């Protein structure tokens, strides 16, 4: 386990599947509060998060406060045919951008599945620190993600680090909100140092 500092004195740590399992309830609570989902979503999403942990290339980075509390979490894995998100996004890309674009983007990519920061800790650089640490050393050529549409701190983060639009106003099953699917080449450029 390695640690580094983020701008609000949070420690960045890579978690194993066992470490995430041990604190899954806390991690899911960060997720539902950041996404503004009902708390009942914690129990609904737990099996999905557990199934993601066994996928090839799975990795997880968390930000911990000085007291050990979970401030932020990011995880993902290598995207592949047959995965629900892959199939949903591929279908959308074929419809909007054509088969060639879908084939190009949906091959050799890391799916940034979750990236969430506790609402009271947002805006302090934790999300970007977790994102950069999570993607450092990923073997895929690209990274893809989906995020709710709208002017949010997450949007500003993704734009700042160079994510571009692949799909806009996309509807995933089970969520009435429109989402954007964003992507970019890897690796990320180093952060700007003013």
Active site members: 158
Contact 6, 126 (CB under 8 A): yes
List, in sequence order, every residue forming a beta bridge with 77; answer none if it has no partner. 111
Cα 133 to the center of its chain, rounded Å: 12
What the block records as the tokens of 138 is 């990923």
What the block records as the tokens of 55 is 């996928």
List, in sequence order, every residue forming a beta bridge with 181; answer none if it has no partner. 146, 167
Label residues 65-74 b or e (16+ Cβ within 10 Å = b): beeeebbbbb
């Amino acid at each position: 386990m390695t640690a580094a500092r983020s701008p609000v004195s949070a420690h960045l740590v890579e978690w194993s599947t066992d470490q995430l399992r041990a604190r899954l309830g806390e991690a899911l609570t960060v997720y539902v509060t950041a996404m503004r989902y009902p708390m009942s979503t914690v129990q609904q999403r737990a099996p999905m998060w557990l199934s993601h942990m066994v996928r090839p290339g799975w990795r997880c980075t968390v930000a911990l406060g000085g007291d050990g509390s979970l401030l932020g979490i990011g995880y993902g894995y290598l995207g592949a045919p047959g995965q629900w998100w892959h199939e949903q996004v591929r279908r959308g890309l074929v419809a909007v951008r054509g088969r060639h674009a879908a084939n190009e983007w949906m091959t050799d990519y890391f799916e940034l599945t979750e990236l969430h920061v506790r609402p009271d800790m947002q805006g302090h650089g934790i999300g970007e620190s977790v994102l950069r640490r999570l993607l450092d050393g990923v073997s895929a050529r690209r990274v893809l993600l989906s995020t709710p549409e709208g002017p949010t701190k997450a949007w500003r983060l993704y734009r700042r680090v160079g994510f571009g639009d692949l799909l806009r106003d996309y509807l995933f099953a089970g969520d009435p909100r429109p989402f954007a699917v964003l992507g970019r080449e890897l690796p990320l450029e180093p952060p700007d140092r003013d």
